[in-house]
Homo-oligomer: A and B are copies of this chain.
Amino acid sequence: MALRTAFRGRAALSGLLSCSSHGRLSPSFISQRKNSTSPKIKVDYDQTTGVAVMRMQSPPVNSLSLDFLTEVCISLEKLEMDKGCRGIIITSNQPKVFSAGLDILEMYGKSPEHCGEFWKAVQEMWLKLYGSNMVTIAAINGSSPAGGCLMSLTCDYRIMADNPRYSIGLNETQLGIVAPFWFKDTMVNTVGHRNTEMALELGLLYKPAEALKIGLVDQLVPEDQVLTAATQTITKWLAIPEHARQITKSMMRKQTIEKLRSNREADIQNFVNFITKESIQKSLRMYMEMLKQKKA
């Protein structure tokens, strides 16, 4: 319980990954998620514009737990199947954070089977988002490390709050773990090989102004205008002939997507072998202890 508490505060935001308490899926929970408003994701879908706003609201820091990832995927599937829905804005309902990334508690002290199931869900989210036919805009209204950054990178366009207390980046290396090849490929496609090499080797987190400079985000706006700007942007994107835009998006991304799709099992096995190593588990434990002390 102490550990859970530790991740409720600001401390987690300064970190690399995140964790949150969560239980296994219960039947009632699953049925709840069939509503457009599920516990961890609030979806506001406007049929007149064809735009859905997905608000992440999994306290404290929108950690990407297995449950959360499953909800994201179910929400995306529902929207993707709705012919009227043409665009998504992804944003956070939690203060100061977009998403703090993958939930450490899904990887620490868990069985290889659980770790594998978790990793499959991370892959699934990436495949659904990076391969989405819809226009996807990240309205980054808080810090966005690791998996949070990955979510942003899958979108067609990234608007970030111009607040120097926030940062964004794939900082896995700082924690002693490794961003997999498809995280890397997504970043290379966005900011090029050299920026990615340096960012991933050092586990860099970028302030908004730096992120804009290297192209990690596309636009900075005052914090209270992130959603407005995202709405204006998506309107422009939706004015583009849809079929041609979709084919073009697919052409730009299919090689990167295909690379994971044809290597999913090996990638899962690779992750499980790595994360269940004693030395890596020790790193995770030390990291969580450090967070606890920060909190205390």
**Cβ A184 vs Cβ B241 within 8 A:** no
One of A99-107, A160-168, A193-201 at the interface: A193-201
CA distance A241 to B178 in the complex (A): 10
A203 in the interface (beta carbon within 8 A): yes
Residue among B194, B215, B241, B251 making CB contact with A174, cutoff 8 Å: B241
**Cβ A173 vs Cβ B215 within 8 A:** no
**Cβ A241 vs Cβ B283 within 8 A:** yes
Chain B nearest CB from A275 CB (Å) reads 12
| Chain B residues whose CB sits within 8 angstroms of the CB of A156 once the complex forms | 198, 201
A3 in the interface (beta carbon within 8 A): no
Copies of chain A in the complex: 3
**Cβ B248 vs Cβ A178 within 8 A:** yes
In the complex, the chain B residue whose C-beta lies closest to that of A203 is B240
| Chain B residues whose CB sits within 8 angstroms of the CB of A197 once the complex forms | 189, 249, 252-253
A191 in the interface (beta carbon within 8 A): yes
**Cβ A189 vs Cβ B181 within 8 A:** no
CA distance A252 to B173 in the complex (A): 13
| Chain B residues whose CB sits within 8 angstroms of the CB of A229 once the complex forms | none
A188 in the interface (beta carbon within 8 A): yes
In the complex, the chain B residue whose C-beta lies closest to that of A181 is B251
| Chain B residues whose CB sits within 8 angstroms of the CB of A191 once the complex forms | 194
In the complex, the chain B residue whose C-beta lies closest to that of A170 is B248
Question: By CB atoms of chain B within 10 A, which of A191, A201, A243, A283 has the most?
Answer: A201
**Cβ B190 vs Cβ A248 within 8 A:** no
**Cβ B283 vs Cβ A178 within 8 A:** no
| Chain A residues within 8 Å of B, Cβ to Cβ | 156-157, 172-179, 181, 184, 188-194, 196-198, 200-203, 215, 218, 236-237, 240-241, 243-245, 247-249, 251-253, 279, 283
**Cβ B279 vs Cβ A201 within 8 A:** no
Could you list some 27 contacts between A and B, CB below 8 A? A173-B241, A174-B241, A175-B244, A176-B241, A176-B244, A177-B244, A178-B247, A178-B248, A178-B251, A179-B248, A189-B193, A189-B194, A189-B197, A190-B194, A192-B193, A192-B194, A193-B252, A196-B252, A200-B252, A201-B245, A201-B249, A202-B237, A202-B245, A203-B240, A203-B244, A241-B283, A243-B279
CA distance A188 to B248 in the complex (A): 13
In the complex, the chain B residue whose C-beta lies closest to that of A252 is B197
CA distance A201 to B175 in the complex (A): 36
Residue among B176, B184, B192 making CB contact with A192, cutoff 8 Å: B192
**Cβ A215 vs Cβ B201 within 8 A:** no
Sort A-B residue pairs by CB-CB distance and give the 5 closest, nearest first. Answer: A176-B241, A173-B244, A197-B252, A189-B193, A178-B247
| Chain B residues whose CB sits within 8 angstroms of the CB of A203 once the complex forms | 240, 244
In the complex, the chain B residue whose C-beta lies closest to that of A218 is B198
